[in-house]
Amino acid sequence: MQNTYQDLWTKTKDYLATCFNETTFNDTFAKVCDVVKFQNNVIYVLVPDNYIKTKINHMYIEKINAVLNTFTTEKLKFKFVCENEIKKEETPISTNNRLYLNHLNENHSFESFVVGESNNFAYRICLNVAEQPAFIANPLYIFGGVGLGKTHLMQAIGNYILDKDLNKKVLYVQANDFIVDYSKSTQSGNMDSFNEKYDDLDCLLVDDIQMLEIGKKSQQEFFKLFNDLINRKKQIVITSDCPANQLKGIMERLTSRFAQGMTVDIKRPDLEQRVNILKRKALELTPKNIPDDVLYFIAQNFTDNIRELEGALNRVIGHSDVCNYNNITLDKAKDALEALLAYKKSNVDTKENHDDLLSIIADFYGISVNDILSTKRKQNFVLPRHIAMYILKQHYNYPYAKIGVILGNRDHTTIMNGCNKIESEINSNKELKMAVETILKKVNK
Ligand code: ADP
Ligand code: MG
């Protein structure tokens, strides 16, 4: 069964049943059953009365949302509402299969996308496609380097379509998720959940199509889906790290179709655009004033991609929050960025370039490079960190000590343990194996 929002609540509730004694659970949660609405990454769950609502909000909401986050990588939240709080036309829709997971990040909108010379054309075409799906360019094929805004723009199309009409079925998938979905269904001999997820779409967004290379059988299935959507005049958007005719290991009848729609590319932003992006992000991220010299310093030192730029800015802001100061200065920013700059320098110093590795791992897991370098122990940071250790050891042949330096000055036993952990699991854990293979392919290893 595919994860619908209803499933997510049911799973969370089942888990809560194991955390509380029977009376507490029955008094509070037994009658909390239906998901009634989903909007802006908030899942609305119906509660029978105000008393229960208040109790949940005061005592349990954090735990409940923490449980939810173990079931999904998206940043979702539950909100508990009484019937009278939901508008008439929206109640109750718990049986409505439109409550599927679209996997879109609501922050990826056209409004939050900073336009400059490097992405102006791509932006305009995407906006046109969002306004008139399947009319302007189908499929729309977006390519460009890591961290330049492909996923953002593609999701902006999906969000725009849904903003206009919540009943549209828009689905965002990474190409490797498509492979996982398809192989899981064929292995279990039951295509129901696959069909439920991919049937009847109005708009399909497939990210990083080059990953399809590792799933030969999935390519056939994707070809069918692709044709079906095009024939039914439904919009398809594809992103890739290269033009369609340079895709390797993907059958030609697919790549030639990718090129039949419209292709746009995104280039690297110049200094001025990087500063503009930082200015915008700074306004979104903090009420604190960040002086221009700090923004220029970041823009001059983090030139490769926008994710990196964002990561650096986050670090500067995070530093000021943790160390509790309001006036961010150039010197303080330099302190805050020390580890990231050292990491970059280690890329320059080494012949074998691991430049993109951490960005790619971070991207794969939906976290930031800072999270990998940090000391945070949350499982969704620890695994990517261990994978980074393992890949730097196995595939770049770096000594433990060097990996330690690259990964935020960790000592060599920590690195050794991380490498061993992945090594001992990789052959028995298919998902882990697939993740590592996907990442290796992205870094051309
Ligand atoms: P890609 O898919 O090309 O690897 P992403 O779309 O994931 O890159 O972009 C990386 C990060 O940079 C995201 O957080 C995204 O929101 C941000 N970003 C990229 N381009 C822009 C832009 N032009 N304006 C604002 N943010 C951007
Ligand atoms: Mg992307």
* Ligand 1 midpoint to CA 415 (Å): 30
Residue pLDDT, tens place only, 361-394: 988 888 888 889 888 888 889 999 999 999 999 9
Indicate the length of the chain as a whole number: 445
Q: For residue 328, what are the CA distances in angstroms to 6, 309, 315, 323?
A: 44, 17, 12, 11
Atom of ligand 1 nearest to the CA of 144: 3
Q: Is the pLDDT of residue 352 over 80?
A: no
Highest mean pLDDT pick, 183-187, 264-268, 308-312: 264-268
* Ligand 2 midpoint to CA 308 (Å): 13
Task: Give the residues across from 37 on adjacent strands.
Answer: 44
Q: Whose CA is nearest to atom 18 of ligand 1?
A: 149
* Ligand 1 midpoint to CA 336 (Å): 22
For residue 225, which of 246, 260, 254, 186 has the smallest C-alpha distance? 254
Atom of ligand 1 nearest to the CA of 239: 2
| Pocket-testing residue among 152, 272, 305, 364, ligand 1, by greatest number of atoms within 8 A of Cβ | 152
* Ligand 2 midpoint to CA 145 (Å): 9
- C-alpha–C-alpha distance, residues 10 and 338, integer Å: 45
User: Would you state the pLDDT for residue 99?
Assistant: 52
pTM of the complete model: 0.71
User: Tokens in use for 337?
Assistant: 């960025």
For residue 416, which of 399, 395, 396 has the smallest C-alpha distance? 399
Q: Which ligand is nearest to the CA of 305?
A: 1
Atom of ligand 1 nearest to the CA of 119: 23
- C-alpha–C-alpha distance, residues 299 and 313, integer Å: 9
For residue 392, which of 432, 429, 424, 350 has the smallest C-alpha distance? 350
Instruction: Catalogue all structural domains in the chain, each as residue range(s) with its CATH number.
Output: 2-85 (3.30.300.180), 120-266 (3.40.50.300), 271-336 (1.10.8.60), 348-444 (1.10.1750.10)
Q: What is the DSSP letter of 73?
A: S
User: Would you state the pLDDT for residue 385?
Assistant: 96
* Ligand 2 midpoint to CA 150 (Å): 5
Q: Whose CA is nearest to atom 26 of ligand 1?
A: 113
* Ligand 1 midpoint to CA 60 (Å): 35
φ, ψ of residue 264 to 5 degrees: the values are: -130, 150
* Ligand 1 midpoint to CA 344 (Å): 20
Q: What percent of the chain shows pLDDT beyond 70? A: 94
Q: Which ligand is nearest to the CA of 145?
A: 1
User: Tokens in use for 43?
Assistant: 């899942």
Tell me the residue type at 253: R
Atom of ligand 1 nearest to the CA of 154: 6
User: Tokens in use for 48?
Assistant: 């029978």
CA geometry: angle at 359 spanning 355 and 365, to 5°? 150
Q: Pocket residues for ligand 1 (CB within 6 Å)?
A: 108, 112-114, 119, 144, 146-152, 277, 306-307, 310, 363
Q: Whose CA is nearest to atom 9 of ligand 1?
A: 149
Q: Is the pLDDT of residue 351 over 90?
A: no
Mean pLDDT over residues 238-267, rounded? 94
Mean pLDDT over residues 399-419, rounded? 91
User: Would you state the pLDDT for residue 343?
Assistant: 77
User: Would you state the pLDDT for residue 87?
Assistant: 58
Quickly list DSSP for 378-414.
-HHHHHHHHHHHHHHHHTT---HHHHHHHTTS--HHH
Q: For residue 106, what are the CA distances in angstroms to 35, 39, 76, 297, 441?
A: 19, 9, 10, 30, 28
Q: Whose CA is nearest to atom 4 of ligand 1?
A: 147
* Ligand 2 midpoint to CA 364 (Å): 8
| Pocket-testing residue among 306, 367, 443, ligand 1, by greatest number of atoms within 8 A of Cβ | 306
Q: Which ligand is nearest to the CA of 283?
A: 1
Name the 3-class secondary structure at 1.
coil
User: Would you state the pLDDT for residue 93?
Assistant: 42
User: Would you state the pLDDT for residue 139?
Assistant: 97
Mean pLDDT over residues 89-118, rounded? 71
- C-alpha–C-alpha distance, residues 231 and 196, integer Å: 19
